[in-house]
Amino acid sequence: MNTGSNEPSDVGVASREAEADVVQGERGLGSRAPEFIKARRSLHLSWQAGVFVVGLAVVIAGIIMLPLPGPGWVVIFGGMAIWATEFVWAQLVLRWTKRKVTEAAQRALDPKVRRRNITLTVIGLVIVAVLVGVYLWKFGVVMPWKIKDQ
């Protein structure tokens, strides 16, 4: 809208911010429940309670999978994504987590960091090989069962 001013108006700024959100693939904060559910308060509260219970079950399953076999962290973040469909705090946590994971991936791809990690891995493997060699030289290979007695 041309108002004869060279200064951007509030409407122009707001529309650019909305376009920036769409470009980044992030939606606005808030509930993603269907409109007919949001229109009725009791139905919306029931919807939120259901989303919370389902998300809580998924997060608990992820926590259980941390010490057990299974993709624990992936399931925990899946539960957070379920919560993020309804709760602003979960949306903010997921945005922060995505930002940190992206930053860590960028740092890991840095050639200096990769070179350092490869060097440290090689040094660690050499130390383990030396320790295993010393152990085998001192004690030899002793099987836990006795084959000669059979």
Could you tell me the two tokens for 35? 């409109």
Q: 56-77 pLDDT, tens per residue?
A: 999 999 999 999 888 888 999 8
Q: Tokens standing for 8?
A: 């951007």
pLDDT at 16: 45
pTM here?
Answer: 0.52
CA-wise closest residue to 95 among 24, 145, 1: 24
